[in-house]
Chain A
Amino acid sequence: MSDATTSTRRRSAVSGNDYGYANARIRGMRSRLFDRPFLDRLIEEPSVPRLVQDLTETEYGPDLEEVLIHGLDATNVDVALKNNMVRTFQKIMGFLNPEAAYLVTTLLGRWDIFNVKTILRAKHMHLSIDELKDGLLPAGQLTPVDLEALSSVDDVRTVVDTAATWGLPMAAALRDGHGEFMHTGELASLELALDRYYTEWAQERLSRRGANTRMAQKVLATQVDVANLVMVLRLQSADVEHIDIDQFFLEGGAVITRELYTALSRMSDIDEVLGRLRGTAYGRALDDVSMTYLEQNSISVFERALEDLFTRRTLGIAKGDPLGIGVAISYLWAKQNEITNLRIIVKGKSVGMPVDRVRKELILV
């Protein structure tokens, strides 16, 4: 196929830009997201069956009824919640205009990377398929059938080979990372190759002009910044000296440039990193949890703060542009957030976690 033909097809594939129908519909769906009082009611339910009873009266009802014939336990509720999320994402992709579908597919590509990473980790740790299934979330382009087939292979090498046989776009990155993996026996190289592949692929797809593309670029850039910052903080916490930290840098961030990343990674401790980040878009979020970090001495405090900041920014992206892609992006993140919160509540309830602890674990209610 000639370049001209490809270019024309690509242009026509992303030319639709009527957001009225999709955004109005998404706003209608958004009005059904749970508010704080409802989540409080769920948290205070005495048992999982009572909680499920409450959820059955909501839009999660059909998904719950579908899986609860296999038994009323936290695992099945978890499956129902994940099914609902996948079904909702697919429903939205079904009515978005071509431009919006193109942009959303690009941003949801991160779920494919997440799923492949989960499969690789599970294969590396020799987990069973059932254990692996719990961690998968087919919200990207890889279907549940694809993921099941990938999950059923024997080892990391077969996952890489299967991806190449299927002609997945990420296969080349997996092959590159696999060489290093064979040498070191550590998955970090494969995961890094996947992350790098995704950021490059997404940036290439988002290299067009237009207000909506810019908005999607902003989300991607924040995501890359957060990934780079988490990496810097993890490496600082691990206090590694013999590793070339720069190799973990992902291009395409908004604030964390390569120079800043290098400067941060060469700092002596986390206090210094926080001091350097003060005044940037991420400084305040990290400063706010620095005391908690001192109390818990766990880097996951910062990871959680950065993830929350990313989610909060993405949720707020719809403000000021009612006829753009922001409404869809914001809803997808809000839905994902709601499902995560519900899963936390169900898991917490099933293991008898105290109500206050469950409340603390919830993300951005």
Chain B
Amino acid sequence: MIKNRLAKWVFGSTFLVTMLLPAMAFAAEAEVVGEWQAYVAKAFAAGLAMGLSALAAGYAQAKIGSAGAGTLAERPEASVWIIVLQALPEIIVLLGFVASILIVNMPVTPA
């Protein structure tokens, strides 16, 4: 359950970036627009995909980190699990990174 307002905001933004912006980039390419507009749209979409996914991962890692510190204070034997859990959100950044590369490498067809 997402109760925190910031969590909702970050989740919503990431969703928008990963779902809508690549679609916008495709749309920009399909529409009759100039070549430079398509490049700008792609760069913008790629930047947001990377940036917001990094922010989301940072948020997740902050939460996991504080909970992990709490667990380690009482159960030091769980340290391996904490490290694994702490690293998991990196996948979000990797997905953002891959998405941004795909967006940047899309061919631009001149109008």
The reply to whether B71 and A28 contact each other, CB–CB distance below 8 Å, is: yes
Instruction: Determine the distance from Cα of A23 to Cα of B63 in the docked complex, in whole angstroms.
Output: 12
Q: How many residues of B contact A (CB 8 A)?
A: 15
The reply to whether B66 and A20 contact each other, CB–CB distance below 8 Å, is: yes
Candidates B3, B70, B74; contact of A20 at CB < 8 Å = B70
Report if A21-B75 is in contact (Cβ < 8 Å); known contacts: A211-B3, A323-B3: no
* Across-interface contacts of A95 in B (CB, < 8 A): 70
Instruction: Determine the distance from Cα of A266 to Cα of B109 in the docked complex, in whole angstroms.
Output: 88
* Across-interface contacts of A32 in B (CB, < 8 A): 74
Q: Mark A14-33, 1 if CB is under 8 A from B, else 0.
A: 00011011111111110110
* Across-interface contacts of A29 in B (CB, < 8 A): 74
The reply to whether B74 and A23 contact each other, CB–CB distance below 8 Å, is: no
Report if A23-B70 is in contact (Cβ < 8 Å); known contacts: A211-B3, A323-B3: yes
Report if A31-B75 is in contact (Cβ < 8 Å); known contacts: A20-B70, A21-B70, A24-B70: yes
* Across-interface contacts of A28 in B (CB, < 8 A): 70-71, 73-75, 78
* Across-interface contacts of B66 in A (CB, < 8 A): 18, 20-21, 24
Query: Can you name the residue of chain A whose Cβ is closest to the Cβ of B7?
Result: A323
* Across-interface contacts of B22 in A (CB, < 8 A): none
The reply to whether B70 and A22 contact each other, CB–CB distance below 8 Å, is: yes
Report if A25-B3 is in contact (Cβ < 8 Å); known contacts: A18-B66, A20-B63, A20-B66: no
The reply to whether A21 and B67 contact each other, CB–CB distance below 8 Å, is: yes
The reply to whether B67 and A24 contact each other, CB–CB distance below 8 Å, is: yes
B66 to chain A, nearest CB (A): 4
A90 to chain B, nearest CB (A): 15
A330 to chain B, nearest CB (A): 16
* Across-interface contacts of B27 in A (CB, < 8 A): none
A103 to chain B, nearest CB (A): 16
CB under 8 Å from chain A, chain B span 51-101 = 63-64, 66-71, 73-75, 78
* Across-interface contacts of B69 in A (CB, < 8 A): 21, 24
B65 to chain A, nearest CB (A): 8
Query: Can you name the residue of chain B whose Cβ is closest to the Cβ of A24?
Result: B70
* Across-interface contacts of A22 in B (CB, < 8 A): 70
Instruction: Determine the distance from Cα of A31 to Cα of B71 in the docked complex, in whole angstroms.
Output: 11
Candidates B1, B4, B64, B73; contact of A25 at CB < 8 Å = B73
Report if A24-B3 is in contact (Cβ < 8 Å); known contacts: A29-B74, A31-B75: no
B87 to chain A, nearest CB (A): 17
* Across-interface contacts of B71 in A (CB, < 8 A): 24-25, 27-28
Instruction: Determine the distance from Cα of A192 to Cα of B56 in the docked complex, in whole angstroms.
Output: 53
A270 to chain B, nearest CB (A): 43
* Across-interface contacts of A23 in B (CB, < 8 A): 67, 70
Q: List 23 A-B contacts (CB under 8 A).
A: A17-B4, A18-B66, A20-B63, A20-B66, A20-B70, A21-B66, A23-B70, A24-B66, A24-B67, A24-B68, A24-B70, A25-B71, A27-B71, A27-B74, A28-B71, A28-B73, A31-B74, A31-B75, A32-B74, A95-B70, A211-B3, A321-B1, A323-B3
Residues of B that sit less than 8 Å from A by CB: 1, 3-4, 63-64, 66-71, 73-75, 78
